[in-house]
Structure 1
Amino acid sequence: MGINGKLEVPLVGCKGIRNTEFLAKMDPFVIIQYGNQEHRSSVTKGEGRNPVWNENFTFNVDYPGDAVHKYKLIFHIMDKHTHSPDDLDGQTTIYLKDVISLGVEKGEMKLEPRKYRVVLPNQKYAGEITVGITFTLNDSISKARSSL
């Protein structure tokens, strides 16, 4: 039988991300994926290479999960365009298997917001993204464990 929980992801901001604009400032946003779930941040108009979002996102987690997503949280840092396709300014992948398994064991596991490297498809450094992660078991499971 699987265990259910929720993954809370506070997206703080980025620093020094790649600028894909020639003359204008970038309008960055982030697409966050966990398995087949996806969330989009707001677009920060004209904030350039150092955008701040301070937004929170929640994902449902099954443990053990299927082999498809392998407990990966993927951040695609994008530049919004009006008349052409959006640009990918970098990506960050955070592997969460240990965080989730400790959260299952303890009821909750929290990583305070910290910086992660943003890389380009060729693995070159492209700035940093600041995010936090909290995994919490669903209430019914937590209550059942605490009553034991």
Structure 2
Amino acid sequence: MALVPGCITLTVEFGKGLKDKDFFGKQDPYCIITVGNQTFKTRVAIDGGKNPVWNETFRFNVNNENDAHVVVMDEDDISRDDVIGECRISLAKARELGMDDVQVPVLSKHSRKQHGFIQFKIKFEPSDALKYGTITGAPQAMQGPMPGPGMVPMGYGAPMHYGQPMPYGQPPMPYGQPPMPYGQPPMPYGQPMPYGQPPMPYGQPPMPYGQPPMP
């Protein structure tokens, strides 16, 4: 039976007890996740050692895909990257219930022995829910065609086209002739009349008093 198409959201949270591929120092693990023909790579957990933390989320479009394949690698600067292990995640529970939290054992590529596990969180959204916006928090799609060139979105009136501005009237008449210059300045005042002769000197001083009376 065909499965309901939709979108798988897969979060790679952390690993525990992974096999250490480095003889000196701590290894630098990362994951390569494949669903169908879609492949993503996590960031490198520098010095993550046996217990790396990623907390990265990826989205996959799915039709009939019902599992994800994960290869855990150790990044090397000098030589080729080493394979730490691999695991396969079932998407069936998430596709049925909408979500799933799962710890998946990491197996050695050749001996198939388990070396730790990786914690995943999985969510599934059916395509119909995505299309019609019935998933909580999903953005609602706008109905109707998008406006093309020259079209105005619904709800707004067409823009008014303003007419050509009327030309202004003739410029005002120039002002009249400048006013006549003022007349000749008034005649200068006459010469001041000289003052009269200085006043006559005062008269002679009074005569001295007579001789004092006889004793």
112, 124, 136: which is aligned to 1:123?
112
- Which residue of structure 2 aligns with residue 96 of structure 1? 91
Structure 1 gap segments, 5+ residues each = 104-108, 144-148
Q: Decide which structure has the larger Cα Rg and report it.
A: 2
- Which residue of structure 2 aligns with residue 140 of structure 1? 131
- Which residue of structure 2 aligns with residue 28 of structure 1? 29
Q: 1:110 to 1:124 in 2, by over 3 A?
A: same
Please give the residue correspondences for 1:1-148 in structure 2 after superposition, counting only pairs within 5 Å.
3-62=4-63, 65=64, 70-100=65-95, 102=96, 109-112=98-101, 114-121=102-109, 122-138=111-127, 139-140=130-131, 143=134
The question of whether the paired residues in 1 share the 8 Å contact of 2:32 and 2:40 is answered with yes
Higher helix share: 1
Q: Deviations over 1:69-114 (max 9, x none)?
A: x5220111110012221111011101224532x25xxxxx1013x3
TM-score (norm 1): 0.80
Residue identity opposite 1:46 in structure 2: D
How far the C-alpha of 1:137 sits from its partner, in A, is 1.1
Q: 1:80 to 1:99 in 2, by over 3 A?
A: same
TM-score (norm 2): 0.56
Higher strand share: 1
Alignment identity in percent? Answer: 29
Q: 1:13 to 1:86 in 2, by over 3 A?
A: same
Structure 2 gap segments, 5+ residues each = 135-215
- The alignment covers a number of residue pairs equal to 130
Distance 1:92 1:132 in 2: 15
